[in-house]
């Protein structure tokens, strides 16, 4: 990361100026908790941008259960950890939670903010390492920022893949809580990615076991229109099962769109 710092930092600092006017003027809310170590998080607090708002990256309605609950759960977890004198003695965990809106362009925009804060912190540490400030002298704004130790989320596999492609350029670890794509298991491509849920491999294996157990030769996958994520999830799961384990079973697959 040291080698790319002089070249990448100016680009990231100017990233906001390159955004479309509507996107550049929109200030997204950020939930912060101070601490010695800052953990970033990407939660889908809002729904995806409507089709007409995608170019502006203007998100939809608030997701109270899915989004707000995850924000509160993270704050509660950090409070419990910080209050425990045994887990991390003399060290407090903080957070910087940003809204991914379950959309790749928004998640990448917010990931750039994580990286920008980290790079500014590194730059200021280098430039200010030999200076002493008096108690009455305010610190420069950049000195108040701390680098992100890692990022939790986002929830979508497709969005998590794009975020990982960006974060790994700066050696920033990423831990997903619901991204189950099989592709993310490839450590040669996603070396800074971890997750706390199993991949779709187990689901595919279970589907195959059912097919073999009942000696089925014909399988139908039914999906509905309107939820692209679930639709792709079902299709990819069936496709993976038939390709990965085709040597174990001979079966025809029919995909039905129930719309």
> pLDDT tens digits for 100-128?
999 999 999 999 999 987 777 655 555 55
Q: Is 159 helix (H, G, I), strand (E, B) or coil?
A: helix
More confident residue, 117 or 6: 117
pLDDT-derived band at 143 (thresholds 50, 70, 90) equals very low
Q: Which region among 11-25, 63-77, 187-201, 206-220 has the lowest average model confidence (pLDDT)? A: 11-25
pLDDT given for residue 37 in this prediction: 94
pLDDT-derived band at 25 (thresholds 50, 70, 90) equals very low
Q: For 30-54, write each residue's pLDDT tens digit.
A: 999 999 999 999 999 999 888 887 8
CA–CA separation, 181 vs 229, rounded Å?
Answer: 12
Q: Identify the H or E element spanning 44.
A: none
pLDDT given for residue 207 in this prediction: 76
Q: Where are the domains of the chain?
A: 31-125+144-195, 200-257
Superfamily of chain region 31-125+144-195? Response regulator (3.40.50.2300)
Instruction: Give the count of beta carbons closer than 10 Å to the beta carbon of residue 150.
Output: 17
For 73, the token pair is: 């759960």
């Amino acid at each position: 990361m040291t080698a790319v710092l002089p070249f990448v930092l100016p680009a990231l600092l100017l990233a906001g100026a390159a955004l479309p006017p509507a996107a550049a003027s929109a200030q997204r809310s950020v939930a912060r908790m101070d601490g010695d170590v800052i953990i970033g998080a990407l939660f889908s607090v809002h729904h995806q941008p409507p089709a007409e708002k995608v170019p502006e990256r203007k998100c939809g309605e608030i997701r109270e259960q899915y989004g707000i609950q995850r924000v509160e759960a993270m704050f509660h977890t950090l409070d419990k950890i910080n209050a425990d004198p045994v887990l991390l003695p003399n060290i407090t965990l903080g957070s910087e939670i940003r809204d991914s809106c379950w959309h790749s362009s928004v998640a990448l925009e917010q990931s750039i903010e994580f990286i920008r804060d980290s790079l500014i912190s590194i730059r200021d540490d280098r430039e200010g390492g030999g200076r002493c400030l008096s108690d009455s002298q305010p610190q420069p704004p950049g000195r108040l920022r701390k680098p992100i130790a890692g990022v939790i989320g986002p929830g979508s596999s497709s969005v998590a893949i794009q975020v990982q492609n960006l974060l790994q350029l700066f050696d920033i670890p990423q831990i997903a809580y619901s991204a189950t794509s099989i592709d993310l298991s490839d450590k040669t491509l996603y070396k800074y990615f971890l997750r706390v849920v199993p991949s779709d491999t187990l689901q595919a294996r279970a589907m195959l076991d059912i097919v073999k157990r009942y000696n089925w030769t014909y399988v139908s996958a039914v999906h509905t229109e309107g939820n692209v994520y679930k639709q792709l999830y079902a299709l990819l799961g069936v496709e993976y099962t038939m390709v990965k384990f085709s040597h174990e079973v001979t079966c025809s697959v029919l995909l039905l769109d129930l719309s």
